[in-house]
A and B are shown apart, each in its own frame.
Chain A
């Protein structure tokens, strides 16, 4: 697999680290909600979609930047890569 890093260009997947579901990751509960159901769900529950999936990846073997990779989990086709952060 090859990922087009928005900062470095197309690189081999071996240079990247997967950090999970991007949309899920963005929903981190407020720290004040201690021990709530929300935290439990956020830490443990994951969707396993067949089809398009927005994934959080980091270019650890390169610029170390983060990106959201929209990928089809059936065909493995990468549809879009967007940078995260400023």
Chain B
């Protein structure tokens, strides 16, 4: 009374090779070549899922990617991958899967009580039920938020895991003249024909084992690149197609280092769609019971896997293809008891098939209901009037354990639809087909509507897709949308097909309505009293099938992710640095000594800089070589402050704005020669600054003779900071003096360190006497070593990003955390840098009302009052009450433990901050840490506000 494996048949399985797998903790056996779906059928499992809303038992419905019911969670190495179709999971020895949306088990699901609430759970249930009252504690959306927790538990799909996905994913770029999508007979012939014409051809076939060895050999000989287990899921502009290749999902032990899935980006001159067609159901009351499936699916299980869905099979059809399926199933030992057809007369050819199958023909009748608790047990059949579309007279009962349905076929035209080609309704085929002319694409075989069921069987179905009769008839099996829901939505005014879809959620589940689309349109058309083409169809969107996020992220995560390493990277590793990812850069965070945590390490490093000397790798700073006769004029327009008169051999701190007047970036720029500057930018903005300047030269100032070259990777740089920094240079640098006269503040000298040519500029980010030393990137390690050797007797230590941040926070120097795209120069107390004598980028926009408002958030310092650690991103509020914090007055941009102030401090942007010094506020962080800490607003120059240290 359930599915079983027959004695013979099954072109894709090897019966001599058993495979053990575990489902919900129970061991089962399949054979090599089985999908999870066919293995479950062979094991006699009827219930493979519970429905989304009502928790009704559901069985296998299809055999391919269109399967709506059999969703499982696959587990490997503790990583859960939910919502996979059993029809595309290839079983392997030791595989572990879990069923979904049931409690406690698939066979006994207590949530099935939801079925009693049937009417209440109809279309628009959420919108109608959870519009909270206008007043009271559950007003507005609060009622929804209250209920959501419980609803999410009861309705839904698989659970995502929390274990990080350690699998590797790859991206592959491919190019071809012809891409053939779909590798059945049609696809293979198309690929071979194209290859024989001399085209570079790629053939993608979504399932495994679809091609015979002979076909594969033929393709190989003709030079066709075959990608199997590869589903083309998206079309993008310029005939760029996206495909996912499932490389190791079917393997028991994936080879180490091999990608689990590959994301193919295929640029195709021409696309040939050989995607075939999908059979669709007829909708009738009780059509969702386990044991009811597509006729073509049963045939696939029989032919490919040697499995039959049941012992007494009835078929319900509106077209001839079901008769061919019946005959083939009978050949595979199936017992076909009856074929019910809505058409009063069937063709000679169909009659012969039915006879060969030994099936009773019941014409002019329709299935109007089914019975059976956990599986269909009997079906009810009544006379059907094709003219009026109604059932009449009394119904007969037919006993069966399986009902196969066939409502005709729909070409798979998703990729053409994604491309924007409007599907054309074919009234004879009762299907949407691709238009005649397709630019850069063509459809072939069943995908073009050329169905061939052999034996002079007609491909044309009767126009019956819905048996309107009382009872729950499911249109969208995965989202539990019934025919009544569609009609109700129409009564409530959702008459556009796009609105209907969203209101009922029809076709919005993970199967994207592959089987439900056309029947739903037919019901909608009936309700509107219009033909289907006037109702129209929704446009298909990518992806055709669910694609794992990891596949799309590909090399952007994990060990394939490119990293930018500074020339001194190995030295940081050797010194025990904790490395920190800043964009693609790897930068030392702190150099922890044994037993030190990060905070202890950065406090020690910062203290050493303030009392002795420290060295930090600054190679990540953006560096742009600006050359040309007009370089000085150019920089004078780019920066807010003057650069035209900067002397050769001097550097200047500069600020640049965006065209809209907001701050964009800051950095120092060195004049190396009359016509040559070395500009530095912040690490994060290097690319943006370069682009903005290139655009100015190309589009707005083409008359300026300036050339820009990014030299970020060509220079290695360190900053040496602290009272003893000059002593370190004096010991190591030859060829130049480094005293105050030769190398004044913002002065530049050239010299050598251990034979390496270097440029030294005296400038300071830390507020201490400090120098930046640059050399060619290849000398970076040698320079680092030489300076370290010279500095060690003076107590020099390397310091990392955390200490660098601490030193700059204490000085009130800004970085990208404060130049966040919303702050102006005066917000950051940099208005002294805005030249009044010349225009510059953004100068026309800085005096706007909104940018000069006295209540703007401006830069302030913040000190913790109770010694508690502050959290960057916390908001500043006036209220002491944690539960009712009131309005945000600002937020913390960066925090550290300040060795100088001996407490936690932060920089913040605060409303009207300049007048708030001494005010007591609270730093609140309700979501992440739940802290609400008393703080005092202080000046952003926390240490040495006069700057005597760096000038001294």
Contact = CB atoms under 8 A, between A and B. Distances in A.
Nearest to A3: B238
A81 B843 CA distance: 33
B844 interface: yes
B699 interface: yes
Contacts of B420: 75
Contacts of A34: 839, 843-844, 847
B699 A66 contact: yes
B262 interface: no
Interface string B814-849: 000000000000000000000000011001110110
Interface residues of B, number: 26
Interface string A67-80: 00000000110100
Contacts of B699: 19, 25-26, 28, 56, 66, 84-85
A50 interface: no
A31 interface: yes
Interface in B723-767: none
Contacts of A17: 691
Interface string B220-253: 0000000000000000111010000000000000
Given A1-B237, A2-B238, A76-B237, A39 B845 contact: yes
A33 B844 contact: yes
A62 B691 CA distance: 13
Contacts of B844: 29, 31, 33-36, 39
B560 to A, nearest CB: 17
Interface residues of A, number: 32
Nearest to A33: B844
B700 interface: yes
Interface string A24-56: 011011011111100110011000000000001
A64 B267 contact: no
A82 interface: no
B698 interface: yes
Contacts of A66: 694-695, 698-699
B236 A1 contact: yes
B659 interface: yes
B240 A12 contact: yes
Nearest to B698: A66
Contacts of A40: 845, 848
Contacts of A85: 698-699, 702
B660 interface: yes
A9 to B, nearest CB: 13
Contacts of A78: 238
A69 to B, nearest CB: 12
A35 B845 contact: yes
Contacts of A43: 659-660, 845
Contacts of A56: 695, 699
B664 to A, nearest CB: 14
B637 to A, nearest CB: 8
A73 to B, nearest CB: 11
Contact of B702 (A1, A2, A86): A86
A58 B420 CA distance: 27
Given A17-B691, A32-B839, A39-B844, A2 B660 contact: no
Contact of B700 (A1, A13, A28, A35): A28
Interface in B838-868: 839-840, 843-845, 847-848
A75 B420 CA distance: 8
Interface of A: 1-2, 12-13, 17, 19, 25-26, 28-29, 31-36, 39-40, 43-44, 56, 58, 60, 64-66, 75-76, 78, 84-86
Give the 7 A-B residue pairs with the shortest CB-CB distance, closest first.
A31-B839, A2-B238, A1-B237, A66-B698, A39-B844, A76-B237, A34-B844
Given A1-B238, A2-B267, A34-B844, 20 more contacts: A1-B236, A2-B237, A12-B265, A17-B691, A19-B695, A26-B699, A31-B840, A31-B843, A34-B843, A34-B847, A35-B847, A39-B845, A40-B845, A40-B848, A58-B695, A66-B694, A66-B698, A75-B420, A85-B699, A85-B702
12 contacts: A1-B240, A2-B237, A13-B237, A28-B699, A39-B845, A40-B845, A58-B695, A64-B694, A65-B698, A66-B698, A66-B699, A76-B237
